[in-house]
A and B are shown apart, each in its own frame.
Chain A
Amino acid sequence: MSEHESLYLDVQGIKTHLLRGGRGPDLVYVHGAGLCEEWYPHHAELAKHFTVYAADNPGWGKSDNAEWMDEIQDYVLFLDALLRTLGLKSPILVGHSLGGLFAAEFAATYTDRLAALALVDAAGMPFTAEDDVPDFFAVAGRGGLEFAQMVFNKLDVAAANFNYPPTHEDLLRFHRELTSTARLMWEKWFDAKLPRRLPRIQTPTAVIWGQHERLFPIAIGRRFAELIPSAEFRLIEDAGHMAPLESPETFAEEILRLKDRVTA
């Protein structure tokens, strides 16, 4: 693992845990419903090319809870406050899953704050009753292999990163992460206004999807790319919803490709 440091910030009054490592252009990584708190292989790969800032969102990891934050907008404003606290003028913003929704809404709200945007297996796109989108919380309730198969294509990566059976500590961590997710998404399922807002995005954008994504089918990823004017749609072979963790090198190459598009 590459060098990184763990620090705590006060972001709009909320004690926020941040991992920082690497050298190069600034890159802010926003985690999804899970995969926070630790310096994962995808952070390490990105840190070979970028200065990576990976905060735990309020309600996740080692950051405090902020139970009043029950709307996507609250996390968009938090992200704004985080960038100001870190003094980042024009970072690359990478959001995975639920963090992809935060990042997309941020880019549509603040159209001149980012160097580039990457949405990775992002949440939030409206779907219809006919679309093959599983009930995320029910599958999370089943846990074990069924949950692993929903979010991972490479089960060996799942096995390397998660205990089975989970410890009590794991169960309590999942419960907190899922509670924070449910507070935002339980009855909403998606962000109904997102298709109206995405065309506002002026930042060069990569929409990156695992080829075996089973939580948000590929058609949903293509929809993001169709709605964002400067977006390029990219698939990561052999990966599922957890593409950054499943294929960290390929994932980092895709972000480098995005950076090269910006400088070119």
Chain B
Amino acid sequence: MRFYYFHLMPWPHLPHDFDAQYESAWVNFPNSLYDPEKGERIYNEYLDEMVAAEKWGWDGVLVNEHHQNAYGTMPSPNIIAAMLTQRTKRVQIGIIGNALPLRMDPLRIAEEIAMLDVISGGRIISGFVRGTGMEYFSLNVNPTQSRDRFYEAHDLIVKAWTEPGPFRWIGQYYKYQYVNPWPRPLQKPHPPIWLPGTGSLETVDYAAQKRYPFMMVFSPVALQKRAYDLYRQIAEEKYGYEATPDQLAFCVPTYVAETDAIARKEAEPYLMWLFHYGLKTGPFGMPPGYVSDRSLANMLKAMPKPFHELTMEDLVDGGYCIVGSPDTVIEKLHYYAHQLHAGIMVSGASCGDMPQEMVRKNVELFSTKVMPALRAAD
């Protein structure tokens, strides 16, 4: 199993009456509540935390893109990734990902990732996402074009990385007389592409077809299992190969403490911050056309609890999160390795507004007590 330290870089200082006063931590949550002077310290603490993950033995550090919100303050993840290329030596640096349809000019993504890949000596992982529904409100991008823009931008970027330029691109959404990015990426054929998602048939099939690692985000373990089973089945039956554990990633907040009881007690407020506050999306989560009519019909049938209704029991017992003593966490990760055949753990040590000393304890226990046991089992 490989271990990736993921940071959302949240804005931790929500007002005490946040839940009563604000419908969302996104889109219209007023930016007067952002304090740039505190921001300086917070950004740099987060960066230090990610740099430290290299010393703790993690395989990579991961960032992602979100706009106009308190949940994750990295509107441009490539900027943070650029800093990490200079402050780390060994680890992979993943952007999971750039939100392709939100950028009107996807060639810029091909260029920026190629720059990062060359500068970092080929350590870049390039995730691609569609962006959340909220961001279609914030950036005035048409959600009904989201999927088609995603696929077209993906095809353009991969071709720009792998085929000699200049060439002409004529697509539905993008046209270029000259596709000819300098620099070209260092890794061959191109930096690894990851696809984070929530397990829709369409995304899982696409990832399996391209053999891209598929990462399930914030979902109960039963749904994760269903998505990985589907990936493995589609890979075998439709595309004729056996999927390996390094194609299946899980993004699960994790907290380790001395005992299960202590871990639950200590982690609860911060997991609640993440699911109840950070992921409070009000009316902005599902703009029209962001999912197809068919996907919406499936969602209505399954009707999972909305994030803000999840209890600590739902989160831990349902497997949205991994919380417990080192032995408990090791056991749960063995389940991922052996029952789900998933070999990429995406986690980290901080969550919501967790104080630095708790983050430090969490990363130390995970890195020294949990990680070695899983590595030894490989």
- The interface residues of chain A lying within 8 Å CB-to-CB of B143 are 182, 186
Q: Does A139 contact B (CB under 8 A)?
A: yes
Is the CB of A187 closer than 8 A to any CB of chain B? yes
Report the Cα distance A181→B142, complex, angstroms.
11
Query: Is A81 at the interface (CB under 8 A from chain B)?
Result: no
Asked if A171 and B300 sit within 8 Å, CB to CB, the answer is: yes
Known: A181-B288, A183-B144. A142 touches B283 (CB 8 A): yes
Q: Residue B284 contacts which of A141, A179, A187 (CB distance < 8 angstroms)?
A: A141
Instruction: Among A143, A168, A172, A183, point to the contact of B289 (Cβ < 8 A).
Output: A183
- A183, B142: Cβ atoms closer than 8 Å: yes
- Asked if A15 is at the interface of the complex by the 8 Å CB criterion, the answer is no
A187 near B140: Cβ-Cβ < 8 Å? yes
Knowing A137-B288, A141-B286 touch, does A179 contact B144 (C-beta < 8 A)? yes
Contact pick for A175, options B28, B282, B283, B293, CB 8 Å: B293
How many residues on chain A are close to B (CB under 8 Å)? 21
Min Cβ gap A14→B in Å is 17
Contacting residues of chain A (151-178) with chain B, CB-CB under 8 angstroms:
168, 171-172, 175-176, 178
Q: Which residues of A contact B28 (CB under 8 A)?
A: 138
Point out the residues of chain B lying under 8 angstroms from A186, CB to CB.
136, 140, 142-144, 287-289
Q: Smallest CB–CB gap between A172 and chain B, Å?
A: 6
Asked if A172 contacts B297 (CB within 8 A), the reply is yes
Option from B142, B283, B293, B297 in Cβ contact (under 8 Å) with A182: B142
Choose one: A70, A139, A141, A143; the contact of B287 (CB below 8 Å). Answer: A141
Q: Bound complex: CA of A70 vs CA of B297, how far in Å?
A: 23
How near does chain A come to B81, taking the closest CB pair, in angstroms? 28
Query: Is B374 located at the chain interface by the 8 A CB criterion?
Result: no
**Chain A min CB distance to B356 (Å):** 36
Contacts A139-B283, A141-B284; A179 near B142 (Cβ below 8 A): no
What are 17 A-B contacts with C-beta separation under 8 Å? Answer: A70-B144, A137-B137, A138-B27, A138-B137, A138-B283, A168-B300, A172-B297, A172-B300, A175-B296, A178-B288, A179-B288, A179-B289, A182-B143, A182-B289, A183-B289, A186-B144, A186-B289
Which A residues fall within an 8 A CB radius of B? Answer: 70, 135, 137-143, 168, 171-172, 175-176, 178-179, 181-183, 186-187
New A-B pairs, 6, CB < 8 Å, besides A143-B283, A183-B289? A138-B283, A140-B283, A142-B282, A176-B293, A186-B142, A186-B143
